Chains A and B, each alone.
Chain A
Amino acid sequence: MDLFLEGLSVLLQWQNFLIIPIGLALGIVVGAIPGLTSDLGIILCIPLTYGMEPTMAILMLLAIYCGGTYGGSITAILINTPGTSANAATLFDGYPMARKGQAYKALSMALFASTVGGLLSAFALLFLAPQIAKITLLFGPAEYLALAVFGLSVIAGVSNKSIFKGLIGACIGIFVSTVGMDTISGSSRFTFGNINLMSGIDLIIALIGLFAISEIMMKSQYNPKTDHKQVSVSSITKDKITREEYRRCRKPIALGSLIGIIIGATPGTGGGLAAFISYNQTKQSSKHPETFGEGEIEGVAASESANNGACGATMIPMLTLGVPGDGATAILMGAFMIHGMVPGPMLFKEQGNILYAIMIGLIVVNVFMYLIGRVFTRLYAHITRIPYEILSCIVLTFCIAGSYSTNNRLYDIYIILIFGIIAYFLRRMDFQLVPVLLGIVLGPLAEDNFRRAMLLSDGSLSIFVTRPISLLFLAVAVGSLALFAWRNHKDKVKARM
């Protein structure tokens, strides 16, 4: 309690309250531009924080992180391209909502869900961090594999019409994830001697190619004369979320935040996976799963609450164990070290007051995010008024600039173009792109941990069912697949009658 009060006094300085909105605004902007992620925002701003007090510095970076995770939903909703990988699940219903003219409503719900998820996550970090960290330590290779399988089972739920096309898509994704140096054997795979492929294909680069470039190509049939709908300026922001809709979204947001916290606290995963699992669970437990994918506001709520729910929770293993929860926290960890705080088990003992200031500050960050987000939402909603022939050029420019800036090399621009062309043909053949993305995200997690588990168990598969957490995840995965199959069967019977 003493540390809590000390932390509060460290936090309550006007500089901190000045820097949080700046960080958030920066984060929302970089998050919303495809190719620029909150990771990059944090990297670019670390040098700016050198001269700041540690609390102020970390709060600024955290604000970028949270703002970026929310900001990515803006482009997912408006231009069918997730700003960061964490927002990919928002595409399913966010973009259809925008096409129905409900862009403002979708953006508002994304903001509301993100804020609630972020707040709950910040509270979990503040009050439950040591307990959650203990559970995280129980995660060995077998548990990670089980978690990845559970994540992959989401494919069944998100590949609308054909499960086989979903599986093929996931296989393409897993194949892409195998390119590059294999950590376990040290050999390079599918690089054809090309040094640029040694470090593999960056997730964000694949994402831009798959979603943004292919989306622009898909619009090649677009006719500006007939397809562009003129919307009156005043009507855009009039369409507010109704009380009934808030009520319906209560459960998805609660579930999403919880899933976000659990997945976020597990190192090596992140907000993207949390959002997919949350979306899938909400869809499966819904009384009207058929409306998902057609612009269901609950879908936006489920995925956005989960990815921001992961934001605070990814800090739990970082602060308590020194293990970053995802890419952005790995960079944040570097920032902690630059400011003289070495994340790990002793950090709470040595610099507890600063840590409490940061953890309480994260709650403030989320409150500010809602306020700033309200302003941005109103502005961004007007993007739907830009004719697509102009918007597509702007998007393409940002995509190319963004992918170049990821590693500062031209090679990545070729990669996004190649991925864009492949994705275009996949879409023309009615493939969903999300299973491809799931494959890219979960492939390495599944493969590396499967091989580690096999090394540990001397090749016995029993390791996956003799450990309780692993068994639990596998059982849930099998259960959700069975439920899916049963539902499908029922629909077919109904259709026949």
Chain B
Amino acid sequence: MKGKRLLAAMTAGVLALSMAACSKQPADGGQQSAGSGAEENFPSKQVTIIMPWSLGGGPDTIARQVAAYGEKYLGVPVIVENKTGGAGTIAMNAALQEKDDGYSMVVANGPLFSLTPSFQNVSYTLDDITPLIGMRITEFVVLTNSKSNLKTIDDLKAYAAAGNTIKYATTGGPGNDSYTMIAVLFKMLDIPAEAIPYDGGQDAINALVGGHVDVAIGSPPVYRDYVANGELNCLGTFIPEGVDVEGIGHIPSFKEQGIDVEFTGMDYFAVRSSVPEEHKQILTKFIQDVYADEEFQKAMSEMDMKAWAATEDEIKTMIEEQTEAMKEYIPLIQ
């Protein structure tokens, strides 16, 4: 009997507490408000990273590596939840529907803000999120099959001048970043070319290795082995200063080759902008600690990947610049 009464009292207590917590919520659910207030012992329970891309891809692999250090540096488990589809917008929507208490992070990229809104109706803006820290840079490289005679941009031009249409494999359809960039490249070169959209980076590279298309776009680590063993050949990269890849050497940028097109793919960790400032700092510190961990660095270098510890401001500036550039590019291919 006594037990039951105690239970009832506890239930009432919990109810009262939760009601109090509810009443603290801003009535307008405002995006810019200070959220549900900083928690003293944050984090006191599991933190979830919402992942817009599928399991096993580059960002997912890094996020899972980071999550594995949750207990060590954050004191709570961190889990990765994949919510794929809709070019990342499904995950973005899910993240914005979560409570702004900092227990949900999301992995985002530049195109979600610079590109996707031109192709889909989206319900978010850059102001809804705060980038915490960078995750990685993606270098898109344009490749040809070494068996073909298309070794340089000039070869491509000569091939097109002979009356051929170049068929190129992309890693997704219109609205996808790789699709947009390679289409813009051919527009700027003024070469007749046609996109053959494939499902993901592996498929596109496979189509090129199998000789089914003339050109393909890829990002590391997918193409590295093929270039290293001489099966594929790099035409150039969209990163303005070019990239140095272990086992391949320097890949020149298109900018260096006199074509005015550039793009830097990036992924980063973010939270809703209304998450309390203190929580943001704790989460950022957590990821910084992981990046500094020797074991983590070793695991990353084994996968030929490098963590990119950019700050909030750096990331925001890059997204804004990218958005401006896209305004120029998109009309070219529409």
Contacts and interface: CB of A to CB of B under 8 A. Distances in A.
Given A184-B173, A345-B226, A324 B86 contact: no
A182 B195 CA distance: 15
Given A183-B197, A455-B196, A195 B68 contact: no
Nearest to A343: B202
A183 B169 CA distance: 13
A227 interface: no
Contacts of B86: 181, 195, 198-199
A229 to B, nearest CB: 44
Contact of B302 (A139, A195, A340): A340
5 contacts: A198-B89, A268-B203, A322-B206, A331-B56, A334-B61
Contacts of A43: 55
B173 A344 contact: no
A137 B210 contact: yes
A457 B206 CA distance: 18
Contacts of A268: 203
Contact of B229 (A199, A346, A452): A346
A458 interface: yes
A141 interface: yes
A449 B87 CA distance: 21
The interface centre, meaning the residue of A46, A195, A200 with most chain B CB atoms within 10 A of its CB, is A195
Interface in A328-367: 330-331, 333-335, 337-338, 340, 342, 344-346
Interface residues of A, number: 45
B110 interface: no
Contact of A139 (B197, B199, B210, B222): B210
A346 B87 CA distance: 31
B275 to A, nearest CB: 22
Nearest to B214: A456
Contact of A195 (B93, B172, B224): B93
A321 interface: yes
Interface stretch (B77-85, B124-132, B133-141, B255-263): B77-85
Nearest to A330: B56
A140 interface: yes
Given A182-B173, A448-B199, 16 more contacts: A140-B207, A140-B210, A183-B173, A184-B173, A186-B173, A186-B175, A195-B89, A198-B86, A267-B203, A334-B55, A334-B57, A337-B56, A345-B225, A345-B231, A408-B83, A456-B213
B93 A346 contact: no
A138 B196 contact: no
B221 interface: yes
A479 interface: no
A181 B210 contact: no
B209 interface: yes
B87 A181 contact: yes
A460 B90 CA distance: 38
A183 B199 contact: yes
B167 interface: yes
B153 interface: no
A198 B90 contact: yes
Contacts of A323: 202-203, 206
Contacts of A50: 68
A407 interface: yes
Nearest to A345: B225
Nearest to B58: A337
Given A139-B210, A324-B202, A346-B225, A184 B87 contact: no
A289 interface: no
Given A43-B55, A47-B68, A342-B304, A455 B167 contact: yes
Interface of B: 54-57, 60-61, 64-65, 68, 79, 81, 83-87, 89-90, 93, 119, 165, 167, 172-176, 179, 194-199, 202-203, 205-207, 209-210, 212-213, 221-222, 224-226, 228-229, 231, 299, 302-304
A185 interface: yes
A139 B213 CA distance: 12
Interface in A110-158: 137-141
B165 A458 contact: yes
Nearest to A51: B68
The interface centre, meaning the residue of B81, B202, B207 with most chain A CB atoms within 10 A of its CB, is B202
B55 A338 contact: no
A455 B202 contact: no
Contact of A342 (B90, B173, B303): B303
A185 B173 CA distance: 6
Contacts of A324: 202
Contacts of A408: 81, 83
A186 B65 contact: no
A185 B203 contact: no
B64 to A, nearest CB: 6
A338 B206 contact: no
B123 to A, nearest CB: 9
Given A342-B304, A452-B196, A321 B90 contact: no
A198 B304 CA distance: 33
B56 A333 contact: yes
B303 A186 contact: no
A211 B299 CA distance: 44
Contacts of B176: 186
Given A195-B86, A199-B84, A323-B203, A338 B225 contact: no
A346 B247 CA distance: 12
A43 B229 CA distance: 32
A346 B228 contact: yes
A338 B65 contact: yes
Contacts of B65: 338
Given A323-B202, A344-B225, A186 B83 contact: no
Nearest to A333: B56
B56 A335 contact: yes
A147 B269 CA distance: 42
Contacts of B224: 344
Contact of B90 (A195, A335, A337, A458): A195
The 9 lowest CB-CB distance pairs between A and B, nearest first, are: A334-B56, A199-B85, A186-B174, A186-B173, A340-B302, A140-B212, A198-B86, A346-B225, A137-B210
A299 B325 CA distance: 60
A407 B64 contact: no
B163 to A, nearest CB: 12
Interface string A453-481: 00110100000000000000000000000
Given A46-B64, A198-B90, A456-B213, A407 B83 contact: yes
A200 to B, nearest CB: 8
B167 A456 contact: yes
Contacts of B195: 455
Nearest to A458: B165
B93 A267 contact: no
